[in-house]
Amino acid sequence: MTKLWQKGYSVNEKVERFEAAQNSALDVRLIRHDVWGSLAHAAMLKQIHLLDETEYQELHSALCSILALEATGEFTVLPSDEDVHTSIEGFLVAATGTTGKKIHMARSRNDQVLLDLRLYGKEQLHAISSELFDLCSALLTFAHEHEELPMPGYTHMQRAMLSSLGLWAAGFAEALLDDEQLLSAAYGLNDQSPLGSAAGYGVPVPIDRQFVSDKLGFARVQNNVIYVQNSRGKIEAAIVQALAQIMLDLSKLAQDTLLFTTAEYGFFQIPQELCTGSSIMPQKRNLDIMELVRARTQTLLALQQQIMGITSGLPSGYNMDYQETKRPFMEALDIAHDCLEICTLVISSLQVKRERLIAACTFELFATDRAYELVKSANMPFRDTYRIVGAEVTALLDRHEDLPVESEAQLIERLKARSHLGGAGNLGLEQSHQRLADAQTIWKQRTTTFITTIQQLIGTENIPSEE
Amino acid sequence: MTKLWQKGYSVNEKVERFEAAQNSALDVRLIRHDVWGSLAHAAMLKQIHLLDETEYQELHSALCSILALEATGEFTVLPSDEDVHTSIEGFLVAATGTTGKKIHMARSRNDQVLLDLRLYGKEQLHAISSELFDLCSALLTFAHEHEELPMPGYTHMQRAMLSSLGLWAAGFAEALLDDEQLLSAAYGLNDQSPLGSAAGYGVPVPIDRQFVSDKLGFARVQNNVIYVQNSRGKIEAAIVQALAQIMLDLSKLAQDTLLFTTAEYGFFQIPQELCTGSSIMPQKRNLDIMELVRARTQTLLALQQQIMGITSGLPSGYNMDYQETKRPFMEALDIAHDCLEICTLVISSLQVKRERLIAACTFELFATDRAYELVKSANMPFRDTYRIVGAEVTALLDRHEDLPVESEAQLIERLKARSHLGGAGNLGLEQSHQRLADAQTIWKQRTTTFITTIQQLIGTENIPSEE
Amino acid sequence: MTKLWQKGYSVNEKVERFEAAQNSALDVRLIRHDVWGSLAHAAMLKQIHLLDETEYQELHSALCSILALEATGEFTVLPSDEDVHTSIEGFLVAATGTTGKKIHMARSRNDQVLLDLRLYGKEQLHAISSELFDLCSALLTFAHEHEELPMPGYTHMQRAMLSSLGLWAAGFAEALLDDEQLLSAAYGLNDQSPLGSAAGYGVPVPIDRQFVSDKLGFARVQNNVIYVQNSRGKIEAAIVQALAQIMLDLSKLAQDTLLFTTAEYGFFQIPQELCTGSSIMPQKRNLDIMELVRARTQTLLALQQQIMGITSGLPSGYNMDYQETKRPFMEALDIAHDCLEICTLVISSLQVKRERLIAACTFELFATDRAYELVKSANMPFRDTYRIVGAEVTALLDRHEDLPVESEAQLIERLKARSHLGGAGNLGLEQSHQRLADAQTIWKQRTTTFITTIQQLIGTENIPSEE
Amino acid sequence: MTKLWQKGYSVNEKVERFEAAQNSALDVRLIRHDVWGSLAHAAMLKQIHLLDETEYQELHSALCSILALEATGEFTVLPSDEDVHTSIEGFLVAATGTTGKKIHMARSRNDQVLLDLRLYGKEQLHAISSELFDLCSALLTFAHEHEELPMPGYTHMQRAMLSSLGLWAAGFAEALLDDEQLLSAAYGLNDQSPLGSAAGYGVPVPIDRQFVSDKLGFARVQNNVIYVQNSRGKIEAAIVQALAQIMLDLSKLAQDTLLFTTAEYGFFQIPQELCTGSSIMPQKRNLDIMELVRARTQTLLALQQQIMGITSGLPSGYNMDYQETKRPFMEALDIAHDCLEICTLVISSLQVKRERLIAACTFELFATDRAYELVKSANMPFRDTYRIVGAEVTALLDRHEDLPVESEAQLIERLKARSHLGGAGNLGLEQSHQRLADAQTIWKQRTTTFITTIQQLIGTENIPSEE
């Protein structure tokens, strides 16, 4: 493919491979977004009389045929194309001749790629929010089922105080609901139209940036044209930062699940269709997927670092370095999406070993309760009862005698006594359900509006059936 | 100081130093926040009849005397104290005897430190937002002054198209206004009261978490008690992530400023009171501060990584690892604060060398304009005029002849022709001013409400004059 | 493909995709290394009489046929295979029946993958060292050519003292020679045979680990079997750390080159076949490749962080998390390899603009020389002459008069006066050439020995012609 | 203090604080190294007749008096000094008048700080290597004591195959011995004298760089003067990279220890003087120190990232950004030092609960052994016996019946059967002891030589007694 900037000399082959090999492969994901952008841009060029109606229709029709080809995997981006923008312009020129050569009027690949990534990010966040809500919902269901199932609460990985399985699960749901707030903030930044910034300095042509922005369903035009370019990598980073928060929660969920399924804890069993085996040890059932969730959290943190590291210290204006942020951005979205899905699968499939949980609620968990009881019964200040109970318990533990055990009923009684907000006896699941429902409504609205806008842009008759 | 958990044996000295040396030094910053939390906690204990009025007054008075001591630097936290919580409880016991031993009823250091960090974070974000608005304002003023001053726009560090100094500066202002949205989202997460989660599993005591939350001016109670503990590090990370975005913008501003003050660019001069010299080269005037802004951006990215790396993979419940997130959190806030302040100083002091900027607007910047003109005049499609102009310009540049130069008036004319939204001829400064004003109103409201709430908690007669 | 651990149930499809999709694609790179390991393992099984001669020959022949298939791209690893080990065992069973089912005796995929990565790493480091020496050599040649070409030396991005282009280039060569020492240390760690550690706890079978190690040309057996597993990720990280050092040097080279090719500096011109253009600006010739080198340095730092982050905090023994270190390891090797190659291309093609370099050697560069001259001529201490010259120079600069200029001959005279070790007048290029030659000898020896050993293992008649 | 570069104007106060507040505090650690460097530099100036004997003696005496003041904490570096170099030059001028003003002849703070950090790094690495050997030795002793103590070996955190406590501990010793190789390589890079590079471009004065290098005991002069400056941060990073490898091993040791001391595993008990307690839960004995080792590993990875991130993308020559690498360098050394010491303390104090370890060696650990036995007894290929045993074991586990248990004697028999290199029955402790002894010899030599050289430089009569 002739490069858009070709002016009569050939680029060194090593240089071409070094620059474009990876980028062209990634750009296959951006075909439809680039087409959508070109549809809106063409409509605007018609609006300001730089295309006439016939030319516009030619372009519209050729662009829609790309959508059809993409839906069946027939449209590709070759390394010699450099990028999706070139391969699409090349297709348009081939299909429409002179008209195709007009499409790039008043824009640059710099603002095109920004647009593609914004639209791609939007779509991905719609899907990720949905996965997040699924996991949240699975956790709340799980919490509800096990609201009265006692388990040890740990600090410093040591048994600390009485907790419940419901409390454990509901905590993750709340974490994810907080994450949604960060995700929404990043979504808001992403929801700005970059088109018209061109190479970063605008164009001496009276383009209508608001028109294009509306056509594509953006909340607003991103105003300053240098800032538009300077925000490359920045907004991707903002999204990845929100994803990193989600992943940190999943990492904790994974680590807990891995611990709780060891022979030593034995709180959970995992159905074997979620496990893998060993090539040497016939007995093994490994929860590899949660190890991978744990590892991919670190990967996502590295991707966050990568994007922000690349952009750090760059001068204003487009720099080629930005191209290197495309892959970590896409990968981070993939990771978050897949890991949310896997965690929902795990939470929905956990087999709880009730008797092991109860048996683990040993004597020392109640030392604090005992100290509080003494405060009341002996009318002593807490710090004194703490010391008395501390001495007692230590002595008992050191004697290694059989220690007193509480019955399941007693344990449940104790759970109920944690009746303050957010305690094991007062989980507040309805409040979480309400937050979940509210967030779902907002995101469904976002998704629906976006789909409708894009359908209008394409024209319903042109929507590939696969979409 | 006797440790709160001391039960009759001594901890190894190396262990003590390993754990507490750094932490106690950091905790000096948290004295007043810990006092505020204890004031609210004591009020709640009185409310649920675990303290009587006299006891409450004793504690209130002793706590306020700590505020007075802190204001004059007389209250310290020693390594042997482990942390600020211990040193304050120790003070209260020394001051009030048995009453002091009651203060820790129904709470843990785990929820105390969470509270202290939330309050500390709040205060710091109030200050940082104010610094951010100052810089934003300085940039808008600068942009207004230089709205019609032409300069080259760069891509790939090469001269690309015509730009203006106003466009350059206004872009940074918009970036910061976007950052404010991320900062607000992080602020929202931080604005939840953790008190009552105790060690992470609540307490079997009917505490009133909402009461405490209201006393301290939080927007809401952070509900699930395990989640409260699990959010240690997480919310700090959310704040640092927002700061990282700010720093990336300052890093770009720093890099631009450093380039533009080289002998080679020569666009800016810096007053010598902002510069430092060399010990060997008598002539040097270095803009060290902007190099440090650039470097501290990398530091802040590392702090972001540090906090998130530490929390990654930890199981649920409090882990000592969290203590290691305190320092990077505080340092990140310091860095953002100082760098915003320094950048405001630099922007307010920049001496613009107008003639150098104009002289740098050389011939090749207008190649795109020429291609657009040909589109119109020759009625050719853009891709064809692009190739024609490309060949022309390359030939001219290679002949190394004197190239045509545009007058200042012509340049300004061209700037004005970029009249679309966000172009050099249509900066939209009023819109940025409006966004700035709106954001300032919100943050001033937050700050004022917080100060008022804390003053009511302390009682106006007890506010140290230095505060 | 039946999984090696399949015992009569099917794994969930999402789980399979989550685990194996990426891994199987990466494993295509490890086919021949896995075959080599199996050849050595089979030879050892024969040696300890767990395979008879016929079985061994069957396996040897089947394994060599895989090498032939791989050479023509006909051997693949499918996601349903999970990994290369499974796909190869599957092939062997299909080709040899019962004999193939014996190959996995006394080993595990855990030690197999370790082996594959060690061999892969070795091969890659052989190639990378060679690229590094090429760049080093190009830099020394360049330094020699421009040994007497004056240029400004910069500190704080400001003109500081007189330097030379030769000094600039030779410095990078020395940096790379130091990097070689780190690379050699990492190579040494990698040069240990992991085979026989099995799943990390050895096998109750009298295997001969030294025999296998010798067959594969390792310097030694990595002894402790738990440590072998614990070193997964660790040795990869050691290699990537050395690569990170190389990349930091290339990053600096890239940044310098980018600055020196701006219109403002104008010290270098790059032939246009190494440049790319813009889709909108007809005049642009961008040195994208050096921007990518700069960006990929950040990518490599993130990969270093990724590998080390993933392994951090993992308990002893194999964890699935390690699988996630395979990709960053391979990518880091690719990046270092490609960037070294590209930098050699750039250095070999740089067009030096002599007159621009000389013209940039302005007055202020000699302030320190002047202060030293005063020390001698006026017999004053340096700190006093520093202050005198400082005042003089500042006054002159502020008067903006025409400042004295030195002739090229004078500049060269000054360069020669920097006659101490490593100064512009005494570059010590012979010493660098010697270090380069010594290092090359060592690495060539390593490479040759390795190739010979592997050829012996395969049998020369079985070496695919493409290798 | 007057700044070295002061030329008659005052620097802005905010600027001064922004730049120097942290740096001056860190520089207190570099006082003696800076003095050593000045002693060598003065000797060289005398050698080339830029100082006469009297002047040299004046400076020598004044410098030695600084060493005496430092030994008693009486020499400080104030923020207004900017750095240790200024505060020392100031002292010399105050003490010797004109002579003191001559000390900075032919050097710059740029090469001074490089020197100080090289000497500081050397001293620190001497100490760290010694701590590393202590831990290694403690681990080998522990391994020897528990060579025949069976325990489960884990993969994927699940019980996998039989292992031993000796095998577990010895693995960490081997890891540290490998780390020593990386540490030695970094030490080698650090062992180059930077003095004479001045501001990065040498000096037009016939200084004798080899003389200074020998006086300070460096292995060689770091030649190219630009490279010397470009290696700021680079060599620090090389050292921190080696420390990161050590920390990753300690992190694994910490995680294992934390798991093995939970109620659920119960393999180890920790003496209470190494534990800390809870402010709320009277029974708690937390192994905080190992949680901190785990967390500080992440901190060290972030410091590695910080140093390398800061240097990435900087142009050649000194940049102020480098100052920001000083603190992470020092902190990384502190962390590695302290964590090695703490781990030695923990390993030396571990109380092993033999019966818990043996009881954990449950039935499923022997599935692989069983499959190997079947290979022999039934003459079947491994993959077939694997499937047979897999089905058997799964069935048994699912029936939840009492499973067969092996006696301690049987377990030890099995351990001994892992008789190949590095297996539980053949730990190879002597080999590790030998590697340890060899490494210790080298490092002791390094340490002794360094101390002797420095003592000669100072003159034995001038060595402060505290040193």
> Annotated catalytic residue: which of D10, D38, D146, D156?
D156
pLDDT band at D273; cut points 50, 70, 90: confident
Tally A–D CB contacts below 8 A.
Answer: 113
Lowest mean pLDDT among A100-104, B334-338, D79-83: D79-83
Mean pLDDT of chain C, nearest integer: 94
Section B395-402 average pLDDT: 78
**Nearest CB to D319 within list B108, B291, B302:** B291
Provide residues of B within 8 Å CB-CB of chain C. 155-161, 258-259, 261-265, 277-278, 280-288, 291, 305, 309, 312-313, 360, 362, 364, 367-368, 370-371, 386-387, 389-390, 393-394, 397
Query: Is B14's pLDDT higher than 90?
Result: no
Probe site for chain D from A275, A283, A289 (most D CB atoms < 10 A): A283
Probe site for chain D from B307, B321, B337, B343 (most D CB atoms < 10 A): B321
Query: What's the gap in Å between the CA of A51 and the closest CA on chain B?
Result: 10
Do residue C309 and residue A301 have CB atoms under 8 angstroms apart? yes
pLDDT of residue B203: 97
Catalytic residue ranges of B: 156, 278
Measured distance CA(C46)–CA(C50) in Å, rounded: 6
Do residue A312 and residue B431 have CB atoms under 8 angstroms apart? no
pLDDT digits (tens, 9 = 90+) for C364-381: 899 999 999 999 999 999
Section C12-29 average pLDDT: 87
Do residue A15 and residue C306 have CB atoms under 8 angstroms apart? no
Query: Is B7's pLDDT higher than 80?
Result: no
Minimum Cα–Cα distance from D335: chain B residue: B18
Do residue B286 and residue D320 have CB atoms under 8 angstroms apart? yes
Which residues from chain A sit within 8 angstroms of residue B200, using beta carbons?
Answer: 153, 155, 160-161
Judge contact between A135 and A445, C-beta under 8 A: no
**Catalytic site residue D104?**
no
Section A48-62 average pLDDT: 97
Query: Is C2's pLDDT higher than 70?
Result: no
Q: Which three-class secondary structure string do you get for chain D?
A: CCCCCCCCCCCCHHHHHHHHHHHHHHHHHHHHHHHHHHHHHHHHHHHCCCCCHHHHHHHHHHHHHHHHHHHCCCCCCCHHHCCHHHHHHHHHHHHHHHHHHHCCCCCCHHHHHHHHHHHHHHHHHHHHHHHHHHHHHHHHHHHHHCCCCEEEEEECCEEEEEEEHHHHHHHHHHHHHHHHHHHHHHHHHHCEECCCCCCCCCCCCCCCHHHHHHHCCCCEECCCHHHHHHCCCHHHHHHHHHHHHHHHHHHHHHHHHHHHCCCCCCCEECCHHHCECCCCCCCCCECHHHHHHHHHHHHHHHHHHHHHHHHCCCCCCCCHHHHHHHHHHHHHHHHHHHHHHHHHHHHHHCEECHHHHHHCCCHHHHHHHHHHHHHHHCCCCHHHHHHHHHHHHHHHHHHCCCCCCCCHHHHHHHHHHCCCCCCCCCCCHHHHHHHHHHHHHHHHHHHHHHHHHHHHHHCHHHCCCCC
Minimum Cα–Cα distance from C323: chain A residue: A292
Do residue C295 and residue A310 have CB atoms under 8 angstroms apart? yes
Query: What's the gap in Å between the CA of C181 and the closest CA on chain B?
Result: 27
The reply to whether the predicted model has a pTM over 0.90 is: yes
pLDDT band at C184; cut points 50, 70, 90: very high
Do residue A283 and residue D394 have CB atoms under 8 angstroms apart? yes
Here the tokens at position A434 are 């309400």
pLDDT digits (tens, 9 = 90+) for D412-443: 999 999 999 999 999 999 999 999 999 999 99
pLDDT band at B467; cut points 50, 70, 90: very low
**Nearest CB to A223 within list B4, B181, B428:** B428
Do residue B102 and residue A181 have CB atoms under 8 angstroms apart? no
Task: Classify the C-alpha dihedral A426-A430-A433-A435 as positive or negative.
Answer: negative
Here the tokens at position A412 are 């449940």
pLDDT of residue D467: 41
Lowest mean pLDDT among B22-31, B325-334, C36-45, C419-428: B22-31
- Side-chain half-sphere exposure of C315, counting CA atoms within 13 A: 19
Query: Is A95's pLDDT higher than 80?
Result: yes
Section C171-193 average pLDDT: 98
> Annotated catalytic residue: which of A156, A279, A377, A420?
A156
Query: Is C197's pLDDT higher than 70?
Result: yes
**Nearest CB to A368 within list D156, D281, D371:** D281
Judge contact between C258 and C290, C-beta under 8 A: yes
Residue B352, Cβ density class (10 Å: 0-12 exposed, 13-18 middle, ≥19 buried) = middle
Query: What's the gap in Å between the CA of B301 and the closest CA on chain C?
Result: 12
Here the tokens at position C179 are 């990097």
Minimum Cα–Cα distance from C305: chain A residue: A302
**What's the farthest any 2 CA atoms get from each other in chain C?**
95
Query: Is C38's pLDDT higher than 90?
Result: yes
Section D204-229 average pLDDT: 98
Judge contact between A432 and A173, C-beta under 8 A: yes
**pLDDT higher for D224 or C2?**
D224
Query: Is D129's pLDDT higher than 60?
Result: yes
Judge contact between C284 and B155, C-beta under 8 A: yes
Question: Under 8 Å CB-to-CB from C144, ≥6 apart: which residues?
Answer: C166, C429
Which residues from chain D sit within 8 angstroms of residue B328, using beta carbons?
Answer: 299, 302
Do residue B294 and residue D321 have CB atoms under 8 angstroms apart? yes
The rounded percent of chain C whose pLDDT value lies above 90 is 85
Query: Is D397's pLDDT higher than 70?
Result: yes
Measured distance CA(B142)–CA(C276) in Å, rounded: 35
Query: Is B465's pLDDT higher than 70?
Result: no
Query: Is D360's pLDDT higher than 70?
Result: yes
Question: Under 8 Å CB-to-CB from D363, ≥6 apart: which residues?
Answer: D393, D396, D403, D404, D405
**Nearest CB to C196 within list D369, D414, D420:** D420
Measured distance CA(B287)–CA(B258) in Å, rounded: 7
Query: Is A467's pLDDT higher than 50?
Result: no
> Annotated catalytic residue: which of C10, C49, C156, C377?
C156
pLDDT digits (tens, 9 = 90+) for B36-61: 999 999 999 999 999 999 999 999 99
Which residues from chain B sit within 8 angstroms of residue D12, using beta carbons?
Answer: 273-274, 345
Tally A–B CB contacts below 8 A.
Answer: 378
pLDDT of residue B12: 82
Here the tokens at position B89 are 């409880």
pLDDT of residue C125: 98
pLDDT of residue A461: 82
The 8-class DSSP code of residue A276 comes to B
Section B290-319 average pLDDT: 98
Minimum Cα–Cα distance from A371: chain D residue: D282
pLDDT of residue D36: 98
Query: Is C52's pLDDT higher than 70?
Result: yes
pLDDT of residue B16: 85
Section B88-106 average pLDDT: 97
Judge contact between B249 and B176, C-beta under 8 A: yes
Mean pLDDT of chain B, nearest integer: 94
User: Closest Cα to residue D224, out of C438, C435, C184?
Assistant: C435
pLDDT band at C397; cut points 50, 70, 90: confident
Minimum Cα–Cα distance from C305: chain B residue: B305
Measured distance CA(D256)–CA(D251) in Å, rounded: 9
pLDDT band at C3; cut points 50, 70, 90: confident
pLDDT band at C280; cut points 50, 70, 90: confident
User: Which domains does chain B show, CATH number per domain?
Assistant: 13-105 (1.10.275.10), 110-201+220-359+429-453 (1.20.200.10), 363-405 (no CATH)
pLDDT band at D2; cut points 50, 70, 90: low
Query: Is C421's pLDDT higher than 70?
Result: yes
User: Closest Cα to residue A287, out of C73, D456, C321?
Assistant: C321
Which residues from chain B sit within 8 angstroms of residue D5, using beta carbons?
Answer: 276-279, 282, 284
Do residue B204 and residue A249 have CB atoms under 8 angstroms apart? no
Do residue C273 and residue A107 have CB atoms under 8 angstroms apart? no
Do residue A286 and residue D161 have CB atoms under 8 angstroms apart? no
pLDDT of residue D9: 62
Which residues from chain A sit within 8 angstroms of residue B423, using beta carbons?
Answer: 202-203, 225
pLDDT of residue B278: 81
pLDDT band at C20; cut points 50, 70, 90: confident
Chains in contact with chain A (at least 3 beta-carbon pairs closer than 8 A): B, C, D
Section D259-284 average pLDDT: 89
DSSP characters for A130-186? HHHHHHHHHHHHHHHHTTT-EEEEEETTEEEEEEEHHHHHHHHHHHHHHHHHHHHHH
Mean pLDDT of chain A, nearest integer: 94
The rounded percent of chain B whose pLDDT value lies above 70 is 97
Section B269-285 average pLDDT: 85
Query: What's the gap in Å between the CA of A115 and the closest CA on chain C?
Result: 16
**pLDDT higher for A175 or A399?**
A175
Mean pLDDT of chain D, nearest integer: 94
pLDDT band at D279; cut points 50, 70, 90: confident
Query: Is D193's pLDDT higher than 50?
Result: yes
ipTM score of complex: 0.96
